[in-house]
Amino acid sequence: MGSQAPMENIMVVFDFDKTIVDVDTDNWVLDQLGFTDMFNQLLPTMPWNPLMDKMMKEMHEKGVSVKEIIEVLKRTPMHDRIIPAIKSAYDAGCDLRILSDANRFFIETILDHHGIKDYFTEIHTNTGYVDEVGRVRIFPHHDYTTTPHGCPNQLCPPNMCKGVVMEKLLANEGDMTFIYLGDGNGDHCPSTKLRENDYCMPRKSYPLWGVILSNPKLIHANIHGWTDGEDLENVLLAIVHGLISKKHEKKSLARSDFKLKDMPRPSREVLSQALPVSL
């Protein structure tokens, strides 16, 4: 890891699929291991997360090992400027989080492979792990069968309202400036929770971009689009360094004001002695 500068009160929250990596990780694993047709046949009959859990069971029963799944995850496409962007934001003093509708096993496997897992303070996502018999298990973030998240935003999937998570982050870390990066419909709800001094970075020509363009007034934050990993790096770091510069300018001005206020004023006697004597 790089050496992190002092924390700058900036939190960068990343989506994962099609933001940090360039694909949907569920679809990537299914496609690479030859289970797409079975998944598509069952999709009309089951919610996404229980179906992914079932697909992991099918893979296990057909002899696909966890090691094979991990090797597929290691090959997940990622733009070559994403890792430098993450490292630069971290080194600048940002607190980095992930808020994703993928799953923990897939995300952590990919981050571990690239040596960047420890750059992130938290990962908020669906449950994913390897059980005692060596099978990958996947469960929803919200147990929507017993306690639905109840979000009125129709774009939120039942298994995860990212807006609920974003509200908790804002409640706990509200003094920070937030920067949120995402691409999909599920990223709209957390984007609406951002405040006027925060930043929303939707990926251009992806669903979130279209939803925001259809009703931009729902987003109070500053909107800065991006297209690919290189653009993400340029836009994100421009925002981060701009915020840091403003913060340091304010500190400098505050110190100057303090010095001016703290300067002793000359007494009336000293002033009278300094006045020229009229002849």
Catalytic residue positions, numbered: 15, 17
Closest among 64, 69, 52, 57 to 113, alpha carbons compared: 69
Instruction: Quote the CA–CA distance of 243 and 155 in Å, as a whole number.
Output: 31
Beta-ladder partners of 126? 103
In the numeric block, which tokens belong to residue 65? 């090992």
What stretches of the chain adopt beta strand conformation (E)?
Answer: 10-14, 95-103, 120-130, 136-139, 177-182, 199-202, 222-223
In the DSSP assignment, the letter for residue 176 is S
DSSP string computed for 163-186: HHHHHHHHHHSTTSEEEEEE-SGG
Tokens of residue 235, six digits? 């836009």
Distance between CA 247 and CA 26 in Å, rounded? 41
